[in-house]
Amino acid sequence: MVFFTVGDMALQDEDGFYYIVDRKKYMLISGGVNIYPREIEEVLYSHPGILDIAVIGVPDAVWGESVKASVVQREGANLIVEDIIGYFEGKLAGYKKPKSVEFVHELPRNPFGKILKTTLRDSFANDTNGIFHIN
């Protein structure tokens, strides 16, 4: 059997089946814990007021990285940061909740429609203007 390394992270279930959970380059480490943005995004995609979402890790002086969500609201939705954070109650562990949320009109995409998370990460690495932080 031949395995290729392409950067995908997978988990194996008790029956031996593998499930892709995220890309290695998108995984963030906060306080020594691995966090997969895809897991957080899947929860947020189920929110009726959210059209599009991207979760990234941003530098954090205390934790190394913290979870940041860039949210595109559905037309007519009037979400606030507390709506996003509160939506996680009972769905994911507390350390996976975003520590900052930014509402945007659209997410950067490549010509094939894939969200450019590296562009998001680079744009938020040093700029905290307009970002709502949850402490």
- Classify residue 49: in a domain, yes or no: yes
- Those residues of the chain that have pLDDT short of 70 are 1-11, 19-26, 124-135
Range of the domain at 44: 26-133
Q: Indicate the pTM of the whole model.
A: 0.75
pLDDT tens digits along 31-45: 888 888 888 999 999
Tell me if 27 sits within 8 A of 36, measured CB to CB: yes
- Classify residue 77: in a domain, yes or no: yes
- Classify residue 72: in a domain, yes or no: yes
- Classify residue 11: in a domain, yes or no: no
Q: What percent of the chain has pLDDT over 70?
A: 77
The per-residue pLDDT for 9 is 59
Structure-token match 């530098």, residue found: 59
- Classify residue 1: in a domain, yes or no: no
Q: What share of the chain is helix, strand, coil (3-state, %, to 5)?
A: 20, 35, 45
The per-residue pLDDT for 134 is 40
Count of domains observed in the chain: 1
Domain containing 44 — which CATH number? 3.30.300.30
- Classify residue 3: in a domain, yes or no: no
The per-residue pLDDT for 118 is 83
- Classify residue 13: in a domain, yes or no: no
